[in-house]
Amino acid sequence: MLRKRIIPCLDVRNGIVVKGINFVGLREMGDPAVHARFYNDEGADELVILDITASREERRSMVHVVEAVADALFIPLTVGGGIRTVDDVREMLNAGADRVSLNTAMVQRPELIEEAAERFGSQCVVAAIDARKRVNADGWEIYIYGGHEATGRDALEWACEVEKRGAGEILLTSMDRDGTQIGYDIPLLQALTSCVSIPVIASGGAGTPEHFAEGLREGGASAVLAASLFHTRALTIPNLKSYLREQGVPVR
């Protein structure tokens, strides 16, 4: 059985780590490179860093921040936000990223997934899907521009499409659960992981060690991601991994 991964996430705005609830009410939480160095030393399996306003502000992603974070790491780094072209992908990889996370740009032009996968390999392409439960209908809808714009597209159908186009992994964020610490959206996770064969990272809602175990076992995720819970040191990665091992969940 493949070992499960624990991934801290740094949401960054204007070069500073921030965190909110349901994608709003952002508060500053410090220097990305300082957080990165801490998680590297604490035993995180990977790190994700997302420039959460780059696409909405129509600007390029934070090359200098990525370089500083990459210098602090000896674990894989995934970078997202404001990546619109294959040249942008190359720039992030040259800055020290191991993989790039695509969201808004790939929804607007799905061919970007194929172009990036063909040029750099599927293992470099992470499809980020921000999903919210439909209010008056079944299923989940995907959002872009940092969760600010509904697309009308079904999350499960889109997940199948990004896999066919060459994405190597999906980063699935439940907008309904983001920052709430009430647990991952297990029905969403189960539905999506059952319709794709590529790994899925669960994001949005972790608040206790039990939530991580649920996301990995019941939800079918290959990895679990959290932000503020780790940033505030309410839960440490070593303690979380010990708990998961006790529960019979294989972790690195």
Question: Which residue is it, tokens 């980063």?
Answer: 171
Catalytic residue among 45, 130, 154, 178: 130
Q: Is 51 a catalytic residue?
A: no
Q: Is 152 left (phi over 0), alpha (psi -120 to 50) or beta?
A: left
Catalytic residue among 11, 45, 51, 185: 11
Q: How far apart are CA 195 and CA 151, in angstroms?
A: 21
Beta bridge partners of 225: 7
Q: How far apart are CA 66 and CA 77, in angstroms?
A: 9
Half-sphere exposure of 202 (CA within 13 A, CB side): 31
Q: Is 11 a catalytic residue?
A: yes
The catalytic residue positions are: 11, 130
